[in-house]
C-alpha cells in the first residue's frame, strides 16, 4: 500500500479550486450560483473526528500490545489496513471537495458586501478548514498504522 503524498493532495486541491472558480464565474454570469450547503463543513468535520478517534484508539491498543500489558487487546492487521484505506480515501475526497469549495469561496470574496454571499463565503471557508482537518487526521492515522522498519540486514 502506498503512502499518501502531500504533493498529490495539494495538486488535486489546486486543480479542483481553479476549475470550480472558473465554473462559478461562468455559472454566475449565466444565472444564480448554487448555494454552498451548511452541511458541507459539518460532514467533513465529522469525518475528521472519526478518523482521529480511530487513530487514537489504534495507537493506544498498539502501545498496550507493544508494552505487553496483561489483557491488552491486539489489533487485527486487516482492520488496521481497512482503517488506513478509509483514511486515504477520505483524504483524497477531502482534497477534492476542499478545492471545489475553496474555488467558490475565492469567487465569492469579490462580493462580500451582499449578506447572502458573505454567508456562503464563510461556509466555503469552513469547508476548506474541515477538509484540511480530514487530511491531517488521515496522515496521523497512516502514521499510527505504519509498520516499523526492519533492522535486519539480509544481504544474501
How do residues 54-110 score in pLDDT, each as one tens digit? 999 999 888 887 777 777 777 788 888 899 999 999 999 999 999 999 999 999 998
CA dist 98 and 126 (Å) reads: 9
**Grid cell listed for 25:** 464565474
Q: What pLDDT, in 10s, does the model give residues 73-83? A: 777 888 888 99
DSSP state of 60: H
pLDDT average, residue stretch 5-13: 95
pLDDT of residue 124 exceeding 70: yes
Looking at per-residue pLDDT, the higher value among 84 and 31 belongs to 84
Name all contacts of 119-124 with Cβ < 8 Å and 24+ positions apart.
Answer: 120/33, 120/35, 120/36, 123/36, 123/37, 123/38, 123/40, 123/41, 124/36
pTM: 0.87
**Grid cell listed for 154:** 539480509
Our measurement of the distance from residue 143's CA atom to the centroid of its chain's CA atoms, rounded to an integer in Å, reads: 15
Distances (CA, A) of 115 to 70, 105, 120: 59, 14, 9
Number of H helices, E strands in the chain: 4, 0
Quick one: pLDDT at residue 66? Answer: 76
Count of beta carbons in the 10 Å neighbourhood of residue 85: 12
**Grid cell listed for 1:** 500500500
Confidence class of residue 44 from pLDDT cuts 50, 70 and 90?
A: very high
**Helix, coil or strand: residue 94:** helix
Quick one: pLDDT at residue 79? Answer: 87
Amino acid at each position: 500500500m502506498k503512502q499518501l503524498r502531500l504533493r498529490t493532495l495539494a495538486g488535486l486541491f489546486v486543480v479542483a479550486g481553479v476549475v470550480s472558480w472558473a465554473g462559478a464565474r461562468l455559472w454566475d454570469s449565466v444565472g444564480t450560483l448554487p448555494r454552498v450547503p451548511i452541511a458541507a463543513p459539518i460532514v467533513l468535520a465529522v469525518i475528521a473526528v472519526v478518523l482521529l478517534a480511530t487513530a487514537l484508539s489504534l495507537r493506544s491498543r498498539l502501545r498496550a500490545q507493544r508494552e505487553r500489558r496483561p489483557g491488552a487487546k491486539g489489533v487485527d492487521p486487516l482492520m488496521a489496513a481497512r482503517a488506513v484505506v478509509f483514511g486515504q480515501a477520505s483524504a483524497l475526497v477531502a482534497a477534492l471537495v476542499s478545492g471545489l469549495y475553496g474555488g467558490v469561496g475565492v469567487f465569492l470574496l469579490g462580493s462580500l458586501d451582499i449578506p447572502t454571499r458573505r454567508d456562503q463565503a464563510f461556509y466555503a471557508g469552513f469547508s476548506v478548514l474541515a477538509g484540511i482537518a480530514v487530511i491531517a487526521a488521515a496522515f496521523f492515522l497512516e502514521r499510527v498504522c505504519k509498520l516499523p522498519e526492519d533492522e535486519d540486514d539480509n544481504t544474501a
